[in-house]
Structure 1
Amino acid sequence: MAEALKRKAPKAAEGERPIDGGARERLLSGMPLTGRARDLAGISTAVLEGGDGPPIVLLHGPGEYAAKWIGVFPDLVRSYRVIAPDMPGHGNSVVPGGPIEADRVLEWLGALIEHTCPNPPALIGQVLGGAIAARFASRHGERLSRLVLVDALGLAPFQPAPEFGRALADFIADPTEDTHDRLWRQCAFDLDRLRDRMGDSWERIKAYNLDRARTAALHATQQSLMEQFGMPGIPEAELDRIAVPTTLIWGRHDLATRLSVAEDASKRYGWPLHVIEDAADDPPIEQPKAFLKALDTAFSHS
């Protein structure tokens, strides 16, 4: 799996042109947030911001971007000040020179919180974003009000189901519409139902997924983040230092990080675990109502 993640995605296959620059604009159209660029730890970062209330920061998964929270934005901005960045090397946040050290990533997150949150936010991290969020909470828990880990990497070494690993390797090596859908059949519990429910929004997400996967400037940083945060397990001593209230939200059918990993972490650290039915590793997009309900429960408990 490590070797698969090191492969560079090639140019678009013959007959498949890369999506033009309008893919992002089409995806963001109508979202109840405002996009802006912020310089954070020397990284020009695309950030979506909107709503009023207690601040929450949303960190997405590998190869994704802030707009992937599309299914929960409308509800969240009614009650919270929402801050959703494109993480370094993702979306429109390009890191000059490619690879980035782990300490600089945590510095970047600290700068994001400093410049966007008037008081300590709830930090919600999914998959790769969850591993980064957990590492930050271990070192800087006083800067957070709570932590929510959604199908997070880092709680154990990355050992996905074989079928997930093959689909991921194929997409990294050759990002086409076919390999994209084959990967998403592993990421979603029921891709057909998801596509039918989302309609045009799904097509816009797919278009931007492919556009970013074919953007060579992002590959080195994404690989670096996975190698440093996503693939190794965070040492237990580091997880033991997380003192901020922490909740786990997990898709029952996650093939990237099995539910048993979350169950073990819940028992060891006393973190409440909310299991989302009929979801794999992306409950916010596959089961947004159930995800929001779990989030409300997490926020209502100290």
Structure 2
Amino acid sequence: MRDQLLAAMPLKERRLQLETVSTAVLEGGDGPPVVLLHGQGEFAALWIRVIPDLVRTHRVIAPDLPGHGASSVRDNRIDIEVVLNWLDELIDQTCQGRPPVLVGHLLGGAIAARYAVHHGDRLAHLILVNTLGLGMFRPAPSFAAPMMGFVAHPTPKSRDRLFSRCFVDMGRVGEQTGRQWQPLLDYALDRARTPSVQAALRRIIPRIAMPAIPSGDLERIDVPTDLIHGRHALQVRLRTAEAASARYGWPLHVIEDCRDDPAVEQPGDFLAALRTALRASKKAESA
């Protein structure tokens, strides 16, 4: 399943030892570096609908997060310090000395934001996509029940029930993704059934994803920051992103007809928002 997914992507995979994590990293393209951090329970191949466009103009680095996908953690030790050191070493070893654009989705967004609090000088831009950590994790009940059901009993039925809540129209997403859709579904189920992934989620979600990042920390982020958010999101409600935008002055790009994964559900609109954010940042730098 993983081989099928990677064969369709214009990236090469290599393995790096970062902190205590044997990390699977997808890389490709030339230009300014962009690091893509996926969400909880996911894997780097879920960026599949935006990577072909991004590699035309950027060097793309998409790792499997610690304990996710094919990235394994020695001794199952995962905490904030390990994850932030992991990201720091990833940037050191993949970005060729150039500050990257750091894009984080859900859990990846919480990691990216926590990293930017202390290492904004190492980044060119921060993009937070439906990100966790901007407030306490309070998903809609219509999402929470399927989420808990899939975690407790990962089956094709519970997976599809959960995924149907992640998208406004799961059938349309599947049709547009084409032949890679079923391998994505199958690999997601395989990972959810993997004991090491289950153990990683039990450690990383309560420590990094669920707690709100203190507002004083978020105010310390001095790298240009934009928010991208699906209008109908159920994991992190739009009002959370709207409040963060108003409080910290971060531009908010709302993706219509979209729930929790703009890069999968509305890749064209997601890329347009991403490029708008980067153009605005470049203009500000040259002014």
> What TM-score bracket applies, with the shorter chain setting the length?
over 0.9
- Specify which of 7, 25, 35 is matched with residue 47 of structure 1: 25
Per-residue displacement from partner, 1:225-250 (whole Å, max 9, x unpaired)?
11111111000000010000000000
- Specify which of 185, 191, 194 is matched with residue 164 of structure 2: 185
Size of the aligned set, in residue pairs, is 280
4+ residue stretches of structure 1 with deviation over 6 A? none
- Alpha-carbon offset, residue 97 of structure 1: 2.2
Q: Distance in 2 between matches of 1:198 and 1:70?
A: 9
Q: Distance in 2 between matches of 1:173 and 1:128?
A: 20
Are 2:279 and 1:284 aligned? no
Are 2:103 and 1:124 aligned? yes
AA aligned to 2:75 is G
Q: State the partner residue of 1:14.
A: none
Q: Distance in 1 between matches of 2:198 and 2:159?
A: 16
- Alpha-carbon offset, residue 108 of structure 1: 0.2
- Specify which of 21, 37, 56 is matched with residue 15 of structure 2: 37
- Specify which of 171, 174, 177 is matched with residue 150 of structure 2: 171
Q: Distance in 2 between matches of 1:239 and 1:212?
A: 32
Asked if 2 retains the 8 angstrom alpha-carbon contact of 1:98 and 1:219, the reply is no
- Alpha-carbon offset, residue 72 of structure 1: 0.3
Secondary structure (helix, strand or coil) at the match of 2:187 reads helix
AA aligned to 2:71 is S
Asked if 1 retains the 8 angstrom alpha-carbon contact of 2:20 and 2:82, the reply is no
**CA RMSD of superposed structures (Å):** 0.8
Per-residue displacement from partner, 1:103-151 (whole Å, max 9, x unpaired)?
1110000000000012100000000000000000001100000100000
Structure 1 unmatched ranges of 5 or more:
1-22
Secondary structure (helix, strand or coil) at the match of 1:120 reads coil
Asked if 2 retains the 8 angstrom alpha-carbon contact of 1:99 and 1:220, the reply is no
What TM-score, normalized to structure 1?
0.92
Structure 2 unmatched ranges of 5 or more:
282-287
Asked if 1 retains the 8 angstrom alpha-carbon contact of 2:20 and 2:74, the reply is no
| Mapping for residues 2-151 of structure 1, pairs under 5 Å | 23-118=1-96, 119-151=98-130
Q: State the partner residue of 1:253.
A: 232
Q: Distance in 2 between matches of 1:296 and 1:116?
A: 22
Secondary structure (helix, strand or coil) at the match of 1:97 reads helix
What TM-score, normalized to structure 2?
0.96
> What is the percent sequence identity of the aligned residues?
54
- Alpha-carbon offset, residue 163 of structure 1: 1.2
Q: State the partner residue of 1:19.
A: none
